[in-house]
Amino acid sequence: MSIKNKIKVGIVGASGYTGGELLRLLVHHEGVEIVFAYSTTNNGKLVSDVYTDLIDEINIEFTNTIKESDVIFLSQGHGKSYDFLLTSSINQKTKIIDLSQDFRLEKSITIGNNKRKFTYGLPELQKNLIKSSKNIANPGCFATALQLALLPSINSNIINGEIHSNAITGSTGAGIIPSNTTHYSWRNNNVSSYKEFNHQHLHEIKYSFNKKSKQNYNLNLITVRGSFSRGIFCTSYFNCESDMNTIKNIYKQYYHDHPFVIISENEINLKQVVNTNKCMLHLTLINGKLLITSIIDNLIKGASGQAIQNMNLMFGLKETEGLRLKSSIF
């Protein structure tokens, strides 16, 4: 692909965790050119001075100016994307991929006489719709791990009764701004639960479930803070009358055209997916209960990698372009 045909990319909120991951992934993406990295806190600084792992990889400065782009990633805190779109002069032809939760229930925003309608950007749910969309609401990290574990079962109607899930996440899931529960002396060698049965990602999960089934499933979710930096390890179980061969065939058939979801015959561990765009699943049937383990990197498949996966689909590129990544197992 020649330079003149490359997709011109801008990143707003480029100095946060997900913004940094977007820069790291896009700098080696052969189909794009990064035209600006927007950050009010680091305006004028070299990107490689802030992200020192990118020394000799990228030679641009952070800016507080929006430049003409084919696509802009909004990588700001929740609630900020809506205001940013209202107050910024962005060409209506520019595609938007929002990593916040502002538009995840496929909401729209009207700016002057123009309306932007957002599509929920989980490729394993609605890949073809993403391909034809101009505005994408990128899924949340917990929502991604849970939906990829449960969507085939929802779609095939093999769930009996309630769903019970437990998901533990690394400290980067809380964002780059320090808080009482993210600083080292509190987080190290510590575990705690939070937002029990009431996590904000439940709204988008149930919204997606309703696209696959008319049945109203009750999902009991416990989210947990882990003593590690990145990744989500999620276990879900429910009563199931299907046999194991039927279950495996359901999952293999559902994911046959989705390159980043891997079904493992062996038990899985979190390091297998850290620093990758993969979601790995393991299925176990015990005494009439189906146990599904799902693991992702919260910053990649749970955020920036999935956003780039959506970009690839929107612009007709190979879905895996720039995302063939290997975990660091040790």
Catalytic residues: 141
- Rounded alpha-carbon distances, angstroms, from residue 294 to 166, 194, 308: 10, 20, 21
Residues 128 and 149: their CA atoms lie apart, in Å, by 20
Residues 199 and 111: their CA atoms lie apart, in Å, by 30
Strand order in the sheet with 232-239: 192-194, 219-225, 160-169, 232-239, 289-296, 279-286, 261-264
Query: Which residues are CB-contacts of 198 (< 8 A; sequence separation ≥ 6)?
Result: none
Burial class (CB in 10 A: 0-12, 13-18, 19+), 262: middle
Query: Which residues are CB-contacts of 189 (< 8 A; sequence separation ≥ 6)?
Result: 227
Helix 244-254 and helix 141-156: axis angle, to 10°?
120
Q: Are 230 and 247 in contact (CB under 8 A)?
A: no
- Rounded alpha-carbon distances, angstroms, from residue 278 to 92, 153, 256, 295, 302: 32, 20, 14, 8, 10
